[in-house]
Structure 1
Amino acid sequence: MAQPQGFVDPLYPDHVCLLQKSIYGLKQSPRKWFETFSTYLLSFGFTHSTADPSLLLYSKNSVNIYILVYVDDILLTGNHDPTIQHLLRGLSAEFHMKNLGPITYFLGMQIISTVHGLHMSQSTYASEILNRAGMKDCKPISSPSPSKFFSKSSSPVSSAEAEHFRHVVGSLQYLTITRPDISFTVNKLCQHMHAPLEDDFNLLKRLLRYIKGTLSFGLPISSGSLDLIAYSDSDWAGDPTDRKSTSGYCAFLGDTLVSWCVKKQKTVARSSTEAEYHALATAATDLIWLRRLINEFKIPTSHPTVLLCDNISAITLANNPIFHARTKHIEIDFQFVRDCIKNQVLHIDHVYTQDQLADVFTKSLSIPRFTQLRAKLTISAPLVSLRGGIEPSDQC
């Protein structure tokens, strides 16, 4: 630290200012805090994860401990309680912190222990969004968006409504952490944040009505198989304005949904094969990162990860090393996916359209189809068991 330029005291040029406020007001304080905290953990024997800098790992003999740091919110877990207690005593002596016990609430997410594992949701945060939007007592609805969009009005909303629109939609982006079922609708709303129209405002109200009826919905985390499998899909020229496609994918670790994404493609695809192929390339980059991450948790990744796609032409193009005249312009994605297959990182397989789980991330669906895919994505509310515990629902 140093005195600011232009305000250096000529009598005491080496002195610094005495802070009268919290150190959180400084821009570099989170980085300095993380550096100090991680230095202590490194001296204890932890190492930084190569996939996620905020994850630190301790592995010695059969003892495995993991720490996830988000500023001053810390998650700690492991398989050896004496080592964990020794670490906690050292942390309490070095830093002023409190052990809150088993996880129940973290960064706005509620974690409930069930008979099958954990159930993660953001019901309290969702209720706060409804309160801020003035829709606390709105009537619930069964789907986040209509199956077809009909443009009825192109008139812009007032400046006050536009500011309110941006505030609510920005809050909904964080809600998608545990609610992948609203990802497509939130993505569509985010595309109009700069100048929302009345139709966009009506779509936002419909989404909030859907959230009202599914406040307790979230993602279950259950033990079981540790095989990584992913689904990739694309809606060709789905945007009626610029005719760009939307890519979507999701990844499962066993029966637990661990990653998903909805992304509008940057360029216009000339065919459905090209749109699906760009979606494959996007999913492949995420799967490479997931394989690196789970490998640090000592989960074997010796076999290629299965990536399921419902477009036979895209699968054929990925496995066929011959360039075609109609695919020369997608050479980069072509080479990238081909290298993943050649290096046995990925194995692209076919899935029927009715079993394509990523379909919910690329387009608006009818209520029966949307409910079916939501159930297959394991998005549900925890149910109270007759045995006295809490177990996640099997159906939505």
Structure 2
Amino acid sequence: MESFQDDFSRKTWVYFLVEKSEAFGTFKFFKSRVEKETGAFIRSLRTDRGGEFTSHEFTNFCHENGIHRQLTTAYSPQQNGVAERKNRTIMNMVRSVLSAKQIPKTFWPEAVNWTLHVLNRCPTLAMKNKTPEEAWNGHKPSVDHFRIFGCIAHVHVPDTKRVKLDAKSCKCILLGIKDQQWSWNDSHKEAIVADLEWDSDEENSTQREESDEFETDEVVGETESESDSGALIEENIQPAEISPRMERIRRPPIWMRDYVTGGKTIGVKWVFKTKLNEKGEVDKYKARLVAKGYCQQYGIDYAEVFAPVARLDTIRIVISLAAQKNWVIYQLDVKSAFLHGEISEEVFVDQPPGYEQKGHETKVYRVKKALYGLEQAPRAWYSRIESYFIKEGFNKCPYEHTLFIKTAERGKILIVCLYVDDLIYTGNDATMFEQFKKSMMVEFDMTDLGKMRYFLGIEVIQGSDGIFISQGKYAQEVLERFKMAQCNSVLNPVVPGFKLTKDEGGVEVDSTVYKQMVGSLMYLTSTRPDLMFIISLISRCMERPTEAHLLAAKRAFRYVKGTIDLGIFYKKGGKDELIGYTDSDYAGDQDDRNSTSGYVFKLSSGAVSWFPKKQPVVTLSTTEAEFIAAASSACQVVWLRRILKSLNQEQYSPTLVYCDNVSTIKLSRNPVMHGRSKHIDIRFHFLRDLVKSEVLELVQCSTQEQIADVLTKPLKVDTFLKMRDLMGVCKFPGVN
């Protein structure tokens, strides 16, 4: 196989050789073909030093035609990286299509031709927003004729080749395109035909089959589909759902101008969503116009893209504070939030499908405000609402950029927490609530959701006794998704003494499904700290999961099945004192012998922050492992105290952090350097400075009272249940 690639357009041609000596004749044919197509001449040719390219006749021909030769150094294929990488891409695809359709390897040239036909019509990084074929000839190629390689096709048999009762078509296999005509094969003969009918069932059957054990195509929380061409109605979504969206898009000033040849415009498409409420019922149908922002280029079409969102720790702190003070938490939703953001770059987009202006179909829009899909849209929206909060007299927390606080005389306070277009607010003054809500309604298109009931997949129940948060609906959806809804429940996610290794000799399982399982469980930890340890274990094995890892993940699901109604209850009243627990196992990882740190912080009656993490170094003693864990928790102490101070809940006394290792406590108070501690990295010794400055204090507790044990090691059932209760994890207590 001999391939040629144009360096500018990246279009590729392939010719098949019986012997390498045919390379020269093939090049002469290729040269004649492309020069007649373009009217230009080949100026440079880069090849390796193979004998077929360095022969006298090849060299003399290039000299006579003024072609500059670039020969790579021996054993340095990277010097011709464009061609080498393209060859590898082609052969990878060829192996895939032959294997997927179980087509004999003798048909590899047909697979190469089809692969090349597809690649020449696919966009590349080298050509922004263009395919190689379009860059080569200036015309956008059609892909309407694309079909799956190897699919079943029915070819019409002409009347001259059949008798009266013969079948009018024969069943064949698609092998690609030859000279703009279809090629098919019936295992014995090959022909080029013009009339084909496709077996749609056969095409659909080529899609990836589902696993026998799991369903992986269900979307949890909302469904989404994309429109094609001009189709605007998706199932139950009516034009009435789209028209308000278009009005919000057109409300800002929009400039329409003629399309300039060579200018850059960004395509748009409709995306439809079905939004569900906390009961899993359809809340509303949404139609969103989305720009194809993947065509944008960094530094030209956009610069800054980062936009912060609220940490779940912050949200839980606000909920805990509201429960303690008996405040009510309310929720607002910004309609089409990104459309409120203003962009400074010059961006042009196509007219929305189905809403083209009559008589101006060739014109394009210049976008003055952000559009969903644009790379800079999240940043533009955050900058817009941030400036609004500052103008309204809010103070932005410097340690959590989505937390805004407004204070007034007599201790009045209003707290707002932002997560993209969803925001919650609470405080102690109803007048401030009404003023804030009215101001937001004037500034933005808002939906008043009333009391906070469902936020980021978290169910919230507010009552006079406190606030209960859980994820029961999400947990049930996850169990059904992975066919674990009817499994037998267990009392704890990990049995005592359980160890998980890489299991290199084990039987591999579907890594995609395994990763989906881990990710689904991970989001459950928003209200379920009791799941953190098992998830930290199984998440270490996602590169090559085996049956042993899958069984561990399934046990976690069995535990969820029996505790689906658990959540965290933040009681009314109580102290606003922050307390923490820190712990570590010792060399718990069986593969690299690293230890695992864990911490839990409680505010009033329930946990607000927790996290297990494998330590970055191998420790030589339990003291060292516990000291590193304490240093990790100290970082969280500093941040939590700053957040509470911003919320007018300053901690005047040192934060008590309970630890069950006496040596660690003594080491934090006394800078003693001896054989067991002299090698500990200096970055962990800032813990001593925090203890000295009375930011925190390590306090001894017994192992039977160490809540953080839940995050670092498998426990007996009785101990596990006790520690789970101490974290505030419980069933719905019947809030009035």
> Which residue number corresponds to residue 44 of structure 1?
392
**How far did 1:114 drift?**
3.7
Instruction: Report the secondary structure of 1:326's partner residue.
Output: coil
- Show the 5 A alignment for 1:13-52: 16-18=347-349, 20=351, 23-52=371-400
Matched, 1:349 2:349: no
> Which residue number corresponds to residue 193 of structure 1?
542
The 2-side partners of 1:184 and 1:15 are apart by 49
Aligned-residue Cα RMSD (Å) equals 2.2
Give CA-to-partner distance per residue, 1:127-158, whole Å, 9 cap, x none.
11111111111111111111122679741323
* Match for residue 90 of structure 1 among 439, 442, 457: 439
**How far did 1:12 drift?**
8.0
Amino acid in the other structure paired with 1:373: M
**How far did 1:329 drift?**
2.0
> Which residue number corresponds to residue 71 of structure 1?
420
Amino acid in the other structure paired with 2:372: Y
**How far did 1:20 drift?**
4.6
Residues 570 and 604, structure 2, Cα contact 8 Å, conserved in 1: no
Give CA-to-partner distance per residue, 1:160-202, whole Å, 9 cap, x none.
x221010110121111010000000001011001111111100
* Match for residue 288 of structure 1 among 634, 638, 643: 638
**How far did 1:10 drift?**
6.5
Instruction: Report the secondary structure of 2:649's partner residue.
Output: coil
Matched, 1:257 2:607: yes
> Which residue number corresponds to residue 679 of structure 2?
329
Instruction: Report the secondary structure of 2:658's partner residue.
Output: strand
- Show the 5 A alignment for 1:134-149: 134-149=483-498
- Show the 5 A alignment for 1:1-396: 9=260, 16-18=347-349, 20=351, 23-61=371-409, 62-149=411-498, 154-158=505-509, 161-223=510-572, 224-384=574-734, 390=735
**How far did 1:357 drift?**
0.8
Residues 277 and 333, structure 1, Cα contact 8 Å, conserved in 2: no
The 1-side partners of 2:263 and 2:575 are apart by 65
The 1-side partners of 2:540 and 2:447 are apart by 42
Residues 570 and 728, structure 2, Cα contact 8 Å, conserved in 1: no
Residues 156 and 195, structure 1, Cα contact 8 Å, conserved in 2: no
Amino acid in the other structure paired with 2:507: P
Amino acid in the other structure paired with 1:345: V
Distance of aligned partners of 1:19 and 1:222 in 2 relative to their CA distance in 1, 3 Å threshold: farther
Give CA-to-partner distance per residue, 1:271-302, whole Å, 9 cap, x none.
00000000000000000000000011111322
The 1-side partners of 2:642 and 2:404 are apart by 14
Distance of aligned partners of 1:229 and 1:19 in 2 relative to their CA distance in 1, 3 Å threshold: farther
The 2-side partners of 1:276 and 1:138 are apart by 38
The 2-side partners of 1:307 and 1:151 are apart by 29
Instruction: Report the secondary structure of 1:17's partner residue.
Output: strand
Instruction: Report the secondary structure of 1:329's partner residue.
Output: coil
Amino acid in the other structure paired with 2:455: F
The 1-side partners of 2:443 and 2:700 are apart by 54
Give CA-to-partner distance per residue, 1:212-268, whole Å, 9 cap, x none.
111110111123101111111000011122111111110111222111111111111
Amino acid in the other structure paired with 2:439: G
Amino acid in the other structure paired with 1:381: K
Instruction: Report the secondary structure of 1:212's partner residue.
Output: helix
Give CA-to-partner distance per residue, 1:316-371, whole Å, 9 cap, x none.
11111222233122142453011001111011110011111111111011111111
Q: Which runs of 5+ in 1 are unaligned?
A: 385-389, 392-396
Percent identical: 36
* Deviates further, 38-47 or 21-30: 21-30
> Which residue number corresponds to residue 394 of structure 1?
none
Give CA-to-partner distance per residue, 1:71-117, whole Å, 9 cap, x none.
10111112111122112111111111111000010000000124421
Instruction: Report the secondary structure of 1:380's partner residue.
Output: strand
Residues 65 and 77, structure 1, Cα contact 8 Å, conserved in 2: yes
**How far did 1:60 drift?**
2.1
Distance of aligned partners of 1:59 and 1:243 in 2 relative to their CA distance in 1, 3 Å threshold: same
The 1-side partners of 2:683 and 2:380 are apart by 39
**How far did 1:377 drift?**
1.2
The 1-side partners of 2:506 and 2:609 are apart by 37
Report the TM-score, using the length of structure 2 for normalisation: 0.50
* Deviates further, 145-154 or 216-225: 145-154
Residues 606 and 729, structure 2, Cα contact 8 Å, conserved in 1: no
Instruction: Report the secondary structure of 1:321's partner residue.
Output: coil
Q: How many residue pairs align between the two structures?
A: 381
Residues 67 and 75, structure 1, Cα contact 8 Å, conserved in 2: yes
Instruction: Report the secondary structure of 2:555's partner residue.
Output: helix
Q: Which runs of 5+ in 2 are unaligned?
A: 1-126, 131-258, 265-344, 353-369
The 1-side partners of 2:588 and 2:347 are apart by 58
Instruction: Report the secondary structure of 2:678's partner residue.
Output: helix
**How far did 1:28 drift?**
1.8
